[in-house]
Structure 1
Amino acid sequence: TFTQNIPVEWVESALQLSSKATIRRRRLPSDQVLWLVLGMALFRNEPVCEVARRLNICAQGLATDSLLARSGVSQARRRLGADPVEWLFRRTGEQWGRERYPGDDWNGLQVLAVDGAQLRTQDTPALREHFGSGNTGTHRQTPYPMMRLVALMNVRSHVLLDAQLSPYRRSEMRLADDFLDRIPDHSITLFDKGFWSAARLLRLASGGEQRHWLIPARKGLVAETLHTYNDDDHLLSMKVSPQARKRDPELPETWTVRAVSYEHKGKRRTVMTSLPAQRYDTEAVARLYRERWEIEVGF
């Protein structure tokens, strides 16, 4: 059943990254351990040995309780390592996340979203040392270590094209920079306002063909109005900060941004976008953010 959607060739390619690759035929060879990890993700409420038994994970045939020891599963997972699993995740995300379905497009563009989250881990000394503690009002640590997750998601199917995990203290914006270049062409990416950055958004728009972005306006932005399409739609010119230009001298001194405003639940909101007004009207842009982000996005 798994191989109907995950080609065996992908598994073979992933196993090339295993730090413990071996030609010896073990009772639990690496290829079957990788299938076992996938089964653990799908049947996460079941004991690992039970998942292995159901999937017949064993070189000799039926994986009975007498043949498959609990210690053997743990040792096999350690031999496999994390790299093959990570590679397979990114390969499947790239394939499935880019697939298009009826009604998937918005005016010819695939709708994606980038957002972050904070997750708790088990409270062990190793995990606490690596991921760190969340913010507290005192010097006391949070009850559990905290990790950051930033993901790139297909809004329609909710398939993750890519994701990055890091210790709590690392910035979500820096994590998002790691997969900006992998955003597909002919797409519109929705961001939370915390990801606002001229360097990041210019890099996204210029790094491919028809790669647009949409993000809420931040308070206190200083801009000059270049053109007014209507009362809710303006073309603005903004300065790129000296700090950003110091980090990247190729950035321009100014950049143009379209600002679209709309009413939602009695409040006036404004979003910034790279979508040209000549092709995407005011109401369409406002409805895109209102419906796709505020209703559909949820990591």
Structure 2
Amino acid sequence: MSVQQHLLDLGDLFNFSDLSTFTQNIPIEWVASALDLSSQATIRRRRLPADQVLWLVLGMALFRDEPVHEVARRLNICAQGLATDHLLARSGVTEARKRLGSGPVEWLFRKTGNQWGGERYRDDSWQGLQVFAVDGALLRTPDTPELRDHFGSGNTPTERQTPFPMLRLVALMNVRSHVILDAQLSPYRRSEMRLADEFLEQVPNQSVTLFDKGFWSADLMLRLSGQGISRHWLTPARKNLVSEEVVRYGKNDRLVRMKVSPQARKRNPDLPTHWEVREVSYEIQGKLKTIMTSLPAATYSANAVAKLYQERWEIELGFRDIKSSMQQNAMTLRSKKIDLVYQEVWGLLLAYNMIRREASQAAVAFGRAPSDIRFKPACQYIAVQLIVMAAANPISAMGRRLADLRAGVGGMFLDHHPRPSRPRTVKISKTRFPVDRKAAPLK
């Protein structure tokens, strides 16, 4: 019997609508296909089967301050529907996660990210182009010999190691909906640029992708713009770039020609010896900034291009939402095995995307843009509602509960009012010692 058929036969024991926010967004066929990747897939009816372990991994991302076995109890995750300490041992949760592995969670994240990341919403384009961003972040793992040997750690000026092993994350994000289309995880020593190479083909047509300066590469940029239709890029110029002017479009707008480095041509012999790039300069806070782009000057003005690059910070906000709002500022991941670390992070990214998509659907219902909804209150609201839904009858009024949830999320819009100006002032530092204002000045 296939895993798909087995899951469909579980209706009498478990209904996927227990977590209706999850299952409304993720079709059961996707779940079945993901679980089919698990090498431990079996028709044996376990106390904590793989289908529910998948929801448990997602619950771990939403309840970071709770132990894993408590997350299972809160979400009512168990074959019998009563995940109490008597029915579900703590060691059983860990073993169930090991049986599931990281592969199914990673597959499900990529499937949903590719599907949701390209969805169109109100005001989600820039002059007809969808806007994406690529950037990297670091996550800290527990300090065990196994994890340190696999993930490695950061550079230090001495031979001393950094306190914790580090995992590298590079993501491709839709900056208007903040949904992550794709991502790569790796040990610390792998290059962000090489990781970005692996999901380059996921960038949709009719788009512009914003890069940090650390991704500057003729190979990367030429392949992005050369594949597909109207796939453009934008990145800050690196210092000390040697170029020659080809065409002058305006005072701070020109086309330049640069040599492709021998190292890049050795890695990819198909690269040309030279390539041409548009260079746009602009002033911000009294400093002159320069960006490079493939956007043609005939269609996109220099002012518009310069303003567009400011949206690159949206991906930084997405990383902040994951680290601060979802992880509740917990600096270290909770898993202590290599595969479970990857499973935890893939579950974190999947849960983040589901919150973003649910918020986007709420925004559409209110005629607003997805980026108008505040992430942290939406995350907390959905987490609380999941506990309520898990304890309720899964069948009756499911559609009404989901509509109520989206209505609640829709009440969390940002207020786009200008912030009052508060000039910076230098204040005396706080001290626990009394200050003698009559004391004589120091000589």
> For residue 194 of structure 1, what is the aligned residue in structure 2?
214
1:244 maps to which residue?
264
The residue matched to 1:37 in structure 2 has which SS? Answer: helix
Are residues 1:269 and 2:289 paired? yes
**2:271 aligned counterpart, secondary structure:** coil
CA drift of 1:53 comes to: 2.2
Moved more, 118-127 or 75-84: 118-127
Greater strand content: 1
Query: How far does residue 294 in structure 1 lie from its aligned partner after superposition?
Result: 4.5
Counterpart of 1:16 in structure 2 is 36
Write the letter of the residue equivalent to 1:168.
Y
Deviations 1:175-221 (A, max 9, x none): 11111111111111111111111011000111111111000011121
Aligned AA for 1:177? D
String of CA shifts for 1:23-45, please: whole Å, max 9, x gaps. 11112111111111111112222
Among 277, 302, 312, the residue aligned to 1:293: 312
Deviations 1:154-188 (A, max 9, x none): 11222211221222222111111111111111111
SS at the partner of 2:40? coil
- In structure 2, what is the Cα distance between the partners aligned to 1:214 and 1:3? 37
The equivalent of 2:156 in structure 1 is 136
| Larger RCO, structure (CA 8 Å, separation 6 or more) | 2
Q: Deviations over 1:139-166 (max 9, x none)?
A: 1111111222211111122221122122
Q: Distance in 2 between matches of 1:294 and 1:36?
A: 32
CA distance in 2, matches of 1:249, 1:34: 44
1:58 — aligned with what? Answer: 78
Within the candidate set 113, 118, 125, 1:98 is matched to 118
2: CA distance, partners of 1:225 / 1:113? 28
1:111 aligned partner, one-letter code? V
Q: Secondary structure of 1:35's match? A: helix
Check if 1:119 corresponds to 2:139: yes
Match of 1:159 in 2: 179
AA of the residue aligned to 1:293: R
Tell me the distance in 1 between the aligned counterparts of 2:243 and 2:174: 32
> Does the alignment pair 1:69 with 2:89?
yes
| Partner residue in 1 for 2:168 | 148
SS of the aligned residue for 2:235 comes to strand
Instruction: Indicate the residue corresponding to 1:80 in structure 2.
Output: 100
Distance 2:168 2:51 in 1: 30
CA pair 295-89 structure 1, distance change in 2 beyond 3 A: closer
Which of 227, 230, 235 is the equivalent residue of 2:255? 235
TM-score (norm 2): 0.65
In structure 1, distance between residues paired with 2:315 and 2:184: 21
Which one is further off, 152-161 or 62-71?
A: 62-71
Divergent runs of 4+, >4 A: none
How many residues align? The count is 298
The answer to whether the Cα contact below 8 Å between 1:114 and 1:152 also exists between their aligned partners in 2 is: yes
Distance 1:36 1:146 in 2: 24
For each residue in 1:48-76, what CA deviation from the matched residue of structure 2 results, as whole angstroms up to 9, or x when unmatched?
22222233222233333322222211111
* Structure 2 counterpart of 1:110: 130
Counterpart of 2:337? none
- When residues 173 and 137 of structure 1 are mapped into structure 2, their CA distance, relative to the original with a 3 A threshold, is same
The residue type paired with residue 230 of structure 1 is G
How far apart, CA to CA, are the structure 1 residues paired with 2:219 and 2:197? Answer: 10
- 1:6 is displaced (CA, Å) by 1.5
Judging changes above 3 Å, is the alpha-carbon distance between structure 1 residues 77 and 126 closer, same or farther for their aligned structure 2 residues?
same
Tell me by how many angstroms 1:246 deviates.
2.3
Could you tell me whether the CA contact under 8 Å between 2:173 and 2:315 is conserved in 1?
no
Conserved? CA contact 1:131–1:168, under 8 Å: yes
Deviation, structure 1 residue 296: 6.5
Written as runs of structure 1 = structure 2, the 5 A alignment for 1:38-49 is 38-49=58-69
Counterpart mapping for 1:162-241 below 5 A: 162-241=182-261
CA contact (8 A) 2:283 2:289 kept: yes
* Residue pair 1:233, 1:258 contacting (<8 A) in 2 also: yes
State the Cα distance separating 1:295 from its structure 2 match: 6.4
Could you tell me which amino acid in structure 2 is paired with residue 195 of structure 1?
F
- Structure 1 contact 233–259 (Cα < 8 Å) conserved: yes
Structure 1: distance between partners of 2:313 and 2:147: 33
What amino acid is aligned across from residue 84 of structure 2 in structure 1? T
Give 1:7's aligned residue. 27
Aligned to 1:32: 52
SS at match of 1:284: helix
Map of 1:282 onto structure 2:
302
Deviations 1:240-299 (A, max 9, x none): 222222222211222111001100110001100000111111110011013x12466433
Q: CA RMSD in A?
A: 1.5
Uncovered stretches (5+) of structure 2, i.e. residues with no partner = 1-19, 320-443
Q: Who wins on radius of gyration, i.e. which is larger?
A: 2
Change (3 A) 1:140 1:296: closer
Length-normalised TM-score, structure 1: 0.95
Q: Which stretches in structure 1 are left out of the alignment for 5+ residues?
A: none
Question: Which amino acid in structure 1 is aligned with residue 296 of structure 2?
Answer: P
